[in-house]
């Protein structure tokens, strides 16, 4: 399991370099934070449509 947490290889350490230490972490993080709020927007709009009764 050690290989799952590589020290970063970038020249200068930074927040994003740390986040992208494994091949998937940065990708999963970014896509998750973009998609999650869409559920909230969805729920709000659904409630609005139901209230408008159509």
Site residues (CB under 8 A) for other proteins? 9-12, 14-17, 19-20, 23, 26-27, 30-31, 33-34, 37-38, 41-42, 45-46, 48-50, 53-54
Least distance in angstroms from the C-beta of 46 to other proteins: 5
In the bound state with other proteins, the residue whose beta carbon lies nearer, of 1 and 9, is 9
Dihedral sign (CA 42, 44, 46, 48)? negative
Select from 4, 3, 26, 5 the least CA-distant residue to 15: 26
Which segments of 1-54 does DSSP mark as H helices, in order?
15-19, 25-52
CB of 13 to other proteins, least distance (A): 10
């Amino acid at each position: 399991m050690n290989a799952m947490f590589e020290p970063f290889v970038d020249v200068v350490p930074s927040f994003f370099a740390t986040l992208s230490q494994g091949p998937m972490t940065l990708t999963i993080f970014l896509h998750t934070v973009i998609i999650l709020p869409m559920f909230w927007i969805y729920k709000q709009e659904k409630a609005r449509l139901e209230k408008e009764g159509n």
